[in-house]
Structure 1
Amino acid sequence: MRITRPGVAMKDRGKRHLPRRILVGAECAPPERLAACELHEHLKLLGIDAPVVEADRADRRDDASICLGAALLPARATDALARVRDDGFLLYRRSDTIHVAARLPRGVLFGCYQYLESLGVRWPEPGQPAELTQRTFELPTRPAAGVDNPDFRTRGNNCYCPTNARDLQTTLETIEWLTRQRCNLHSLLRGDTPTLTAFDEFWYATADVVHQRGCELALGSHLTWPGLLMYEDRDLFEKHPEYFPLRDGQRQPTGPYGPPVHYGPDAIASRTGSGISLCVSNPKVVALVVRNLRKFLDAHPEIDVMGLWPPDTKWEGCECAKCRKLVQPDRMWSNIPHHDNQWRATSDHLAHLIGQVAAGIKKSHSKVRVLSWGWCTTEPAPRNVTPEGRFQFDHFLLPCYTHPLDSDRCLNHHIHPEALKTWAKTKNVDLGWIFAGVGFTTVMAEYPFAWLIKRNVEFIRQIGGRAVTTCQEIGEAANRSARGDMTDHYMFSACGVNYFAMARLGWKTDTPLEELYRDYAETRFGQAAGALITDYYEQIIERYEAWEHSQPTEDFYDVWGGSEIRCRPGWEVLLDLLTEDMIARARELLETAHRRARRKLHKQRVQSERNVFEHTVRMRKIFKIHQARQKLEEAGLTEESQKLARAQRKILADAKRIDLPKHHAETMIAGDKSWIESMWL
């Protein structure tokens, strides 16, 4: 672990209660042992070399120790500890002795991070050393006041499973950073690796780091349904076609989109497509999936949460009579009021299958939770089926980045509010929400959307949601697609503030956004520049609240099979939100912040922020020309449109000369065309 020493003397810290020893129980859990190590290393920032000492409650302790774990907690504090829930913690001081205790081992780790933050310690970004800031606060002096519980039980991160040493390093650094921000679930999407086979050293290394912190490790894939069905028999379709979905009058072993492929436990999503449904009404199918899942979990005890995601399409399930009965009467709908492309809701199919599978492993693998996702056809809550077993259902709602989830004006998610409320009330379902921000940032900077995140997290908590997750999609896809192209944290300058806000709001939803902005900005850019960066972030809030765009775009996009028309695609919102006045103001703030930043490292980070913003400004120019070209082509003025296209390419070439860690515009989606070229050129 690297520690930055900015030269802040102890006397400048004010009256802090600094320990001379770090006491742990002799039989403490690995996360508590890690907490002691984290304290030992980070206290060196303050010139304190506190040894880690094993002790018990009967040991004599001086008045300058930090005591970790319930085993060292004074009897008078046990009532306060009883009020701690989930992975919350108890943190307080009595004289110069600090106590950190929790119900779960990772709660002690979180409590130690809170204590370090009280001393001004912060972590500016993944893979970078801790720094000492002026942002300090006092600890409670009474146990009753030291209870700190999270608002959401699960605060997750979803990313691609690393497939090489470079991406492994990125993934581990991100897990470390997010855990310090109080995330407790790390889900690895096996998109470029076999779904249920060939688990390599990168998988196990990631699992070890997650478990060292006491967090949950989840396996995620859109191919687990057919993978588990054919776990021991890849030729199952030839023997039992009735186990597979009936479509167009025939049983089919392939997905509804893409080339014919043969699914199975060794299928790779990036090569085979987006998965298939099953004949979920067939009890033999459910029994086989449950039996194979038990065998799989026996072979993989490192998995804490099993992701049983539906196909990544507008799937309509099996059409056999029994499966059709589950969804009768049909709910044919579109998430765009005036759009005529509709599909059948299949949330009853999902609840029927996942609920039975969750119930089927409850006794054999009682500590394993089941997690499923949903979007498009599973947006309406189940109406005919009550899940048999309990599972977490994370709604992967592709936001328009203009309206919060509870808005009734959004053309993309106009049914979300009532649908989410119904899901939250569904028996045996723990509702979660996934912020799918990063997938839309491959063409530009993701201007801080923390305002929208906060509104959405508040709504999810209000209706009884239990989980919030950031879909980061770390790791570069093998085929250079937009999916997961985040190697080396190249998106952190654009998205880091949103990751930070999402994690912290999952712990304390009522935290003022301005406080989060300032904490993050002063951590990354220093106190002098941090205030200006905070103003840069906050100028978007006023614009958001005044700008209620509710008209469809002129371009209709199909995003991940989500919908053919959107209130506002993520890559267009910022470009339309920015005005010339805002651009001028942002440049002024960033330039002044760069000038006032005192340390070289802080100047470099401000410059990176400036570079990302200037890239975004150029993307805005390309987009505006694209809109003008549309009107010219509608009028039959093709030659004039081509002249503007040449202007777009010059701007794109200029954007590529901006110094960015990895250029956003280089992301490939088809052939030799970049995302920008495919959409706007």
Structure 2
Amino acid sequence: MTATVLQSVDDTTMRFAQNELSHYLRKMLPENSQDPAQASIRLVLNKDPHQDELDHVRITMEEGQGKIEGNHPVVVLIGVYQLLHHFGARFVRPGRNNEVIPSITMDVFNQPFSYDHKASYKHRGVCIEGADSVENIMQFIDWLPKIGFNTFFVQFENPYTFFKRWYTHEFNSYWDKGTFTNAMVEKMSRQVDEAIATRGLKHHRVGHGWTGEVLGYSSKFGWESGLRLPEEKEKFVAEVNGKRALIDGTPILTSLDFSNPVVIPKMSDVVVQYAEQHPEVDYLHVWLSDANNNICECEQCRKELPADQYVRFLNYLDQELTAHHLNTKICFLLYHELLFAPAKEKIKNPERFTMMFAPISRTFEKSYADVNYTQDIPAPAVYKRNQTTLPTTLEENLSFLFDWQKGFKGDSFVYDYPLGRAHYGDLGYMNISRIISRDVKYLSHLHLHGYISCQELRAGFPTTFPNYVMGQTLWDKETNFEDLRQEYFEAAYGKSTYPAVVKYLQKVSDDSSSDYFNAIGPRVSEQMSKRYQRIVAEARDFLPVIRVALSEVTGTQKKNWEVLDYHRQSTQKLAQALSWLADGQTDRAEAEWQEFVDFIKLNEKFYQPYLDVYRIIEVATNYAGFKYRDAPVQE
């Protein structure tokens, strides 16, 4: 009993797709059968330069003969996983040991099946954040096409910052700090690049860091701080409060003086050189500094909006890339001061550029679909140099997007943050999942062509349902949220027991608040204090359900129940700390917060893939209001 897989062209991703389909069919089909039946599945790459850019897959299966056809190699790979999904496979978390792979018979190949689908959106991706091992990144990249994504974005020149946080165990002194060298990073970075290329994923790169590159600081070191600017480079740096210096000693936070005639050519040269050396990068992100209220205040710069200077630079960069015969796509950013649209300048060659809308301070208690677009969109705020306050409402954020769209009609997507820090406030992950679903479904109404999630890769606590919803809905925006919920939780927790999990996590979500955790709204709130107390009780009362389930399930489902129990225990501590915080009892809140932090630090070695300990501590101390970060180990 065999299933033969053939692919039409000799291409790395096509070979990988062939191997993947063969691998999973071997796992699904019974062994040592004497049945001579055979099936043949052909993988066909059909590139048509006249087709639109949307990924398009066709699958047919009849009388033992099948074909998976796609217009890009990654689409054929996604088609492989779509066929496996049809056969009952469920990829509920990153990592092969977290998959639910059913047994099938050769009869399935004789049952007619037809699937013809164009992806709902062009851009469907994730951008790295948090603290990550190379295994975390590799498993996450492997997971992306299995749930419909086609894009991975590596911030900076390489993932140095994200590796450093993990391999030096920043914020977790219960781990010994291991060896960490640039040579290690270079080797692991090559592995990441190869994983992206093998799967044919769209490769996005860099982002912030170009301003530091102009000053001689490598973007690979991310938010490196404690540096001092040489005197001869001060003329390139923004004048802020009468000084020209690195902001907080950090190049990535520092703006440039774009009225200096040397700055635009110098920054353009850096970008062009990178593009020449990295043809594997499909979309090169060229952003300015990663801070607000640090724009140059010199006499010449005061005459223009930051966005006018930015667009002038982008047009110059386009000319230089063209002169060097480079077709690299450039992503430009609407973020901080650059939310304010230019008053005079316009992008001259829209085909070169993709506009990225990054509403980093938005609420996630509400979806784009909830906005009253006929009444509630205000006029964009008036720019006041170095006096901006980031908008929290969707209406304010969207007013900036719509203003930019008046002058730019080209390719665009939203760069959003539901799993970058908002998810820590939704302790059950259910409401943030529904917001993601509704946001994604509404993107076409906003004339946006997709979504890249800036997020922790270890965002699986208690589940990876938010990412599952994101990928599947970006692939097909008609996907029903309730159907996805049943599919995911039944696979992850078992057919008879998953409804109890859904009910419990929904209660936890309903009493949570992403806004409260992320410093939107008052810090003292009797209502929030009571809601967090209810979560403590809900988590405590769910223990008997977990005990029964753990005695009945096996394999992947057993691991998911174990993670859920660990989540239940830690949630009791975190919710209690948040309850004290909302009640104004800061000393009791800090004590309970320390209990929570110690608990997750001590358990990180057992549950590392599921919760980013570094990042939740960072977000909670920067936003939620807790003061404790890390402490030396007590001997």
Shift in CA distance, 629/38, structure 1 to aligned 2, threshold 3 Å: same
Does 2:555 match 1:587? no
Q: Map 1:642-661 onto structure 2 (within 5 A).
A: 661=607
> Quick one: distance in 1 between partners of 2:259 and 2:409?
20
Indicate conservation of the 8 Å contact 2:239/2:257, yes or no: yes
Distance apart, 1:118 and its partner CA: 0.6
> Quick one: distance in 2 between partners of 1:220 and 1:140?
48
1:7 alignment counterpart: none
2:291 alignment counterpart: 313
Greater relative CO (CA pairs within 8 A, separation 6+):
2
Corresponding residue to 1:606 among 555, 561, 583: 561
Does 2:302 match 1:324? yes
> Quick one: distance in 2 between partners of 1:369 and 1:228?
21
> Quick one: distance in 2 between partners of 1:304 and 1:603?
40
Distance apart, 1:174 and its partner CA: 0.8
Corresponding residue to 1:158 among 127, 133, 139: 127
1:379 alignment counterpart: 339
What SS does the aligned partner of 1:317 have?
Answer: coil
Q: Map 1:52-71 onto structure 2 (within 5 A).
A: 64-70=39-45
1:267 alignment counterpart: none
Distance apart, 1:109 and its partner CA: 0.7
Distance apart, 1:244 and its partner CA: 3.3
> Quick one: distance in 2 between partners of 1:644 and 1:106?
48
Shift in CA distance, 307/680, structure 1 to aligned 2, threshold 3 Å: closer
1:519 alignment counterpart: 487
What SS does the aligned partner of 2:462 have?
Answer: helix
Does 2:577 match 1:627? no
2:433 alignment counterpart: 450
What SS does the aligned partner of 2:252 have?
Answer: coil
Indicate conservation of the 8 Å contact 1:66/1:97, yes or no: yes
What SS does the aligned partner of 2:41 have?
Answer: strand
Indicate conservation of the 8 Å contact 2:45/2:72, yes or no: no
Corresponding residue to 1:174 among 140, 146, 149: 140
| AA in 2 matched with 1:432 | V
Distance apart, 1:465 and its partner CA: 0.8
Task: Provide the aligned C-alpha RMSD in A.
Answer: 4.7
Q: Which runs of 5+ in 1 are unaligned?
A: 1-17, 51-61, 260-271, 328-345, 475-488, 560-564, 631-640
What SS does the aligned partner of 1:527 have?
Answer: coil
1:105 alignment counterpart: 73
> Quick one: distance in 1 between partners of 2:572 and 2:130?
33
Indicate conservation of the 8 Å contact 1:92/1:141, yes or no: no
Q: Map 1:276-675 onto structure 2 (within 5 A).
A: 276-282=254-260, 284-327=262-305, 346-362=306-322, 364=324, 366-389=326-349, 390-405=353-368, 407=371, 412-425=393-406, 426-428=408-410, 430-440=412-422, 445=427, 447-448=429-430, 449-474=432-457, 489=458, 491-494=459-462, 496-539=464-507, 543=510, 566-567=520-521, 580=534, 584=538, 587=542, 590-591=545-546, 594=549, 597-629=552-584, 661=607
- Tell me the percent identity: 16
Shift in CA distance, 576/506, structure 1 to aligned 2, threshold 3 Å: farther
Q: Which runs of 5+ in 2 are unaligned?
A: 163-181, 219-226, 377-390, 631-635
1:46 alignment counterpart: 28
> Quick one: distance in 2 between partners of 1:573 and 1:223?
42
Distance apart, 1:32 and its partner CA: 1.1
Shift in CA distance, 534/253, structure 1 to aligned 2, threshold 3 Å: same
TM-score (norm 2): 0.75
What SS does the aligned partner of 2:204 have?
Answer: strand
2:386 alignment counterpart: none
> Quick one: distance in 1 between partners of 2:30 and 2:404?
50
Indicate conservation of the 8 Å contact 2:123/2:449, yes or no: yes
1:44-87 Cα deviation digits (max 9, x unpaired): 1222789xxxxxxxxxxx9832111146x9xxxx9xx9767432
Q: Map 1:250-265 onto structure 2 (within 5 A).
A: 252-255=244-247, 258-259=248-249
> Quick one: distance in 2 between partners of 1:643 and 1:94?
66
1:584-637 Cα deviation digits (max 9, x unpaired): 39827953872685325413311311321332232222222223335xxxxxxx
Indicate conservation of the 8 Å contact 2:121/2:450, yes or no: yes
Shift in CA distance, 210/647, structure 1 to aligned 2, threshold 3 Å: closer
Indicate conservation of the 8 Å contact 2:489/2:498, yes or no: yes
2:206 alignment counterpart: 220
Indicate conservation of the 8 Å contact 2:550/2:561, yes or no: no
| AA in 2 matched with 1:148 | H
Distance apart, 1:101 and its partner CA: 1.4
Indicate conservation of the 8 Å contact 1:228/1:293, yes or no: no
1:152-188 Cα deviation digits (max 9, x unpaired): 21111111598xxx81111101110122112222112
What SS does the aligned partner of 1:209 have?
Answer: helix
> Quick one: distance in 2 between partners of 1:613 and 1:212?
38
| AA in 1 matched with 2:139 | E
| AA in 1 matched with 2:19 | C
Indicate conservation of the 8 Å contact 1:622/1:680, yes or no: no
1:535-587 Cα deviation digits (max 9, x unpaired): 4455578x49xx9x99x96xxx9x7xxxxx62489xx9998765738953982
> Quick one: distance in 2 between partners of 1:529 and 1:515?
17
Indicate conservation of the 8 Å contact 2:428/2:508, yes or no: no
1:203-262 Cα deviation digits (max 9, x unpaired): 111111100111122222421233046489x99976675543233445x2523xx13xxx
What SS does the aligned partner of 2:542 have?
Answer: helix
Shift in CA distance, 208/388, structure 1 to aligned 2, threshold 3 Å: same
| AA in 2 matched with 1:30 | T
1:116 alignment counterpart: 84
Indicate conservation of the 8 Å contact 1:84/1:90, yes or no: no
1:262 alignment counterpart: none
1:131 alignment counterpart: 100
Indicate conservation of the 8 Å contact 1:404/1:455, yes or no: yes
What SS does the aligned partner of 1:433 have?
Answer: strand
Shift in CA distance, 523/237, structure 1 to aligned 2, threshold 3 Å: same
What SS does the aligned partner of 1:505 have?
Answer: helix
Shift in CA distance, 642/372, structure 1 to aligned 2, threshold 3 Å: same
Shift in CA distance, 201/42, structure 1 to aligned 2, threshold 3 Å: same
Shift in CA distance, 302/194, structure 1 to aligned 2, threshold 3 Å: farther
| AA in 2 matched with 1:99 | K
